[in-house]
Each structure stands twice: as structure tokens, then as C-alpha cells.
Amino acid sequence: MNLSGEMLIGQNNVKGINQAIYAINPANNQTLDPAYLGGTQEHVNQACTLAWQAFDIYRNKSVEERAIFLETIAENIENIGDLLIQRAMDESGLTRARLEGERGRTCGQLRLFAKTIRAGEWLDIRVDEALPNRQPVPRFDLRQQHIALGPVAVFGASNFPLAFSVAGGDTASALAAGCPVVVKAHSAHPGTSELVGKAIQQAVKQCNLPEGVFSLLYGAGNIIGSTLVEHPYIKAVGFTGSRNGGTALMKIAQNRSEPIPVYAEMSSINPVVLLPSMLENNPDTLGQAFVHSLTQGAGQFCTNPGLVIAIKSPALDIFKKSATEAVQQSMSQTMLTPGIFQAFLKSVNTIEQQNKVSLLAKGLVSPDQNQCQTHLFSVDAIDFLNNELLQSEMFGSASIIIECKNMDEAKLVIEQLEGQLTATLHMDQNDMEDAQRLLAVLERKVGRILINSWPTGVEVCDAMVHGGPYPSTSDARTTSVGTAAIFRFLRPVCYQNFPDDLLPDAIKQSNPLKLSRLINGERE
């Protein structure tokens, strides 16, 4: 398959006419062909109109048809073969092993959503049967299911060119819910986007679905994205990226004549708390494990451990020494884009220049371009509490150790944190009381709490929450990873006093789809 540089508007492949995007190999700053000419507002309108035309048809397809569609996409992505991995490596600087793993996750989550919609829990079926003899008034038969919200705009993420991009978690959950998807490709990996986009486009055709179920647009700058979010046929937005980008989309969505939900996963520094007894007994191994998590994927994860909170002690000094040595030996890694590299430089320089912040260690640097050099800082809790800037995300392998006088001060630090995706406690049996005190605070601050593990590495499963209070995301009531992500693109509808043959299959009295239902208050 050759790359064409074309947008995919339904089954049409269309060249843009605006400013071209070129992928850049971040390891050597070389420009990669082809040119991806930017789309116009009219292209956005075409894609959204097709999506709207497809909506009623697609959402009324049987669950089985949608499940097969998701599985076909996965198969088509696998069938691209090594071309996809090679192009993604060139565009992202990520390693083969990482991208092969990410492809596995991408196809795995498409198949998991197929399984999820077949299981039917997502419909949240509720039935209250008629009570014709109830006094003083009878009760009508009332049945609830969930239906798709409408066409969804998805913005590809830079840091997961497969798993959170064109066919990533947002797209998979929206398609699973019955929503057509219009993707704005991330400008850092247009070729990867085209390859995956064509896999979806082909699956639409193979499954005889209306073409508007999927479109893929390109555009430099913000016009395509903002036009997409403003479009009246778009009913929800999925985004993973910067806080500036996410909050800009939230504003656009709120200023529409019909405001729509924006699911923006924005930034998080993921505090890791080392409780005293655990630290006392394992300072050296904790230091090494921490740096291992910190340096994974050049730290370009939403769940990167950007903050370590611990109480001053000889054990903490050993932890610092161990982490310092590990950082000093850490190899540099190519960052995703020159822009992300520049932002990383700027953010670590800003932190380094803050009063009372110590630079503990820097990692090695190779002569390649856009190299992320690991940075480890430390600061006294009191100075952290007095400087909001120290809560800024440094997107890359950089972290700050916050040294506290005692557990009360550690609790103060945690209480002052902004909303986060994750928080982690390292603890043993003797730390139980401290852990319990901190958990009450952490529950209010984060979407996922980990014990004795590391926040990088997000499992795709039913129980996962990859979300959290603002500003880690725009909407703490949801998750963007795992099967519960489907609820972002659904809303409930109640059917009152329907003749059975007019009811959707999911809520017919005979329960032909064999779904779990809440009937008259009891789980069936």
C-alpha cells in the first residue's frame, strides 16, 4: 500500500488544498513524504454530513454487525503488516517493540469492545413492568436502554500513534456505541493515520455499512479541529493532548448553540507516595523501579510518575542516591516530535530555575536529534507548597522528589495537588494507618489509585479508570481507557407503554438478546 497523502471522506479519497503537513522523523529531523495537504471547512462539512446520514442506519445495526465491524478493523490493521510499524517508527521515534505492543493493544481493544457490546451491559437495561391495578394511579410499562449520542469527533494523540489515534480507544468506544466517527489526524503521524484510516475505510465497505461511519481529515493549525467541534452534526468530542488544546476545545463546544460533551484527557503528574516503613526497607530497589517507570517511552505517558512524595529520612537519602545513579545511567530516547522536545527542554529549564529546587541528576545524551535527557529534581515540601509552577507537567522523563517533614506535611502536599489521573502508594503492613489517612484524600484527587505498582502501563479492561478530576481530564465522570469508555457516547432513552413488537430487541419482554436486566428493581 502506497501512501497517497489523501484524506478519507467516507469512501472518497480526497486531496486537501491547504497548507501541507509533512511527518518528520524525530531521530534525524528528516522530512517524510508524502505531503498531506490540509482540508478545508467544506471537507469538514462533507465528512460531518456523511456521518450524520450514516448515524440512524449505523446505530440501528445489530450489535453483532457492529461487533464484526470492530473485529474487521482489527484484522485489517494487522494485515497492513510491517509497513505500519515501520512508518510509525519513522514518524514517532518510538521503538519497534513498543509499536508492536501498541498495535497489539489497539487491535485487542477493538476486539474487547466487540465482546463488550455483545455482552450488553453497556445498554443498562431497566424494566419497570406495568401495574394496572396500582392505586391511586396505575403504572405504565417503562423500559430504558442506552442509545448512541451521534457523530463523534476524535483527535489523534501524539503519544499513542496507534492506541490513542485513528483507531484508538476513543474511536473504538464511539464506534462500539453506535456513533460514526470523524478523525482529525495528529500532524505528527499522518502516514500512520492514513494506513490505519484505510483499514477502517475498507472495513466499512466489507461490512456494508454506510460510508459516513468513518472519515479522516488532515489540517495544519487549528481550523479543521475547531470547525469540526463547531459542526452541528457532531455530538461529542474525544481528545488526548495538552491542557491548552483540551480547554480550547471545551470552550468551543460550550459556545455552540447546542453545547456538546468534550472528553479531553489533558495532563497529570501522577504523584507517587513512599510510605515510611516500605521506604525504610526497600530504598534502593524503589529508587531503581521508580526510574525504570520514569524513563519508559521517554516519559511520554499521561501516567508518568512526575512527583515523588516522601518523608525525610536516611532511607529517603538512599532512595535518592539509588534514583540518582539510575538516572545518570539512563540512555536518552528520541522524543515524539521536535515540538515536544522543545517543550520538554523549556519545562525542565523552568523547573531548574525555580528557587529552592535542586537538580539531583541528569541522564545520558546520545548524538541523535530530539533526545529526552532524564531529569530528576528535589525540593522541600514547604517550597513546593509555595510554588504552583512546580505542579506543571513536564511531558517527558522528568520528576521531582518532594521531601516532607512528616506525614502531616505529606498530606498537605497531596491536598494541594490538582486533579490527577493516578496516585500511587508504596507501602507495607506497617504503613496501613498512614495509607488509610491518605486514601481519603487521594480518592478525591484521582481516577486510579495504585498500591506497590507503577502508574505507567494502563490495562485495558472493565475495571480500568483512565480519567480523573479536572484538569487531568475535562470530565471526571468517565474513563478513556477500558470498556466503561463506551458510556461517554451513550444516553438513556425510556420507552413508555410500548407494544412489544415496536420495542427495540434489547428491551423486548422475552429478552431475545439474553441481556442482564434490572427488572422491577431486581437484577435478572
Q: Which cell is 313 given?
A: 529520612
Judged by beta carbon, residue 203 or residue 250, the one nearer a copy of itself is: 250
Based on CB atoms, which residue is closest to a copy of itself, 337 or 420? 420
CA distance 284 to 302: 26
> Judging by DSSP bridges, how do beta strands 214-217 and 181-184 pair with one another?
parallel
CB atoms within 10 A of CB 54: 22
Cell 465497505 belongs to which residue? 205
Q: To 10 degrees, the CA torsion angle through 494, 496, 502, 505?
A: 40
Rounded to whole angstroms, how far apart are CA atoms 307 and 294? 10
State the alpha helices, DSSP H only, in 62-95.
Answer: 63-80, 82-92
Does the annotation mark 433 as catalytic?
Answer: no
User: What one-letter code names the amino acid at 308?
Assistant: V
Q: How far is the CB of 319 from a copy of itself (least distance, A)?
A: 20
Active-site choice (71, 91, 102, 265): 265
Helix axes 63-80, 190-206, angle to 10 degrees: 140
Strand 12-14 with 18-25, pairing: unpaired
Q: How far apart are alpha carbons 107 and 359 in whole angstroms? A: 41
What type of residue is 39? G
Q: Which distant-in-sequence residues (6+ apart) come within 8 Å of 467 by Cβ?
A: 265, 421, 447, 473, 475, 476, 477, 478, 479, 480
The minimum distance between CB 482 and a copy of itself, in angstroms, equals 8
Nearest to 374 by CA among 387, 366, 383, 365: 365
Torsion angle of C-alpha atoms 446, 447, 452, 455, degrees rounded to 10 = -100
Shortest distance (Å) from residue 243 CB to a copy of itself: 12
In the complex, least distance from residue 285 CB atom to a copy of itself, rounded to whole angstroms:
16
Taking the C-alpha atoms of residue 261 and residue 149, their distance in angstroms, rounded to an integer, is 10
**How many Cα atoms are found within 13 Å in the side-chain-facing hemisphere of 384?**
28
Q: How far is the CB of 496 from a copy of itself (least distance, A)?
A: 4
Residues 6 or more apart whose CB falls under 8 angstroms from that of 480 comprise 164, 169, 170, 238, 240, 263, 265, 466, 467, 473, 488
Which among 302, 372, 393, 404 is annotated as catalytic? Answer: 302
List the beta strands (DSSP E) in 157-305: 181-184, 214-217, 236-240, 262-265, 271-274
Joined grid coordinates for residue 110: 477493538
Q: Which amino acid is at 136?
A: P
**Residue 133 CB, nearest distance to a copy of itself (Å)?**
15
- How far is residue 318's CA from residue 326's CA, in Å, rounded to a whole number? 12
Cell of 271: 504523584
* Residue 328 to residue 295: CA distance in whole angstroms: 12
* CA-based radius of gyration for the chain: 25
302 is catalytic: yes
Q: Which residues are catalytic?
A: 265, 302
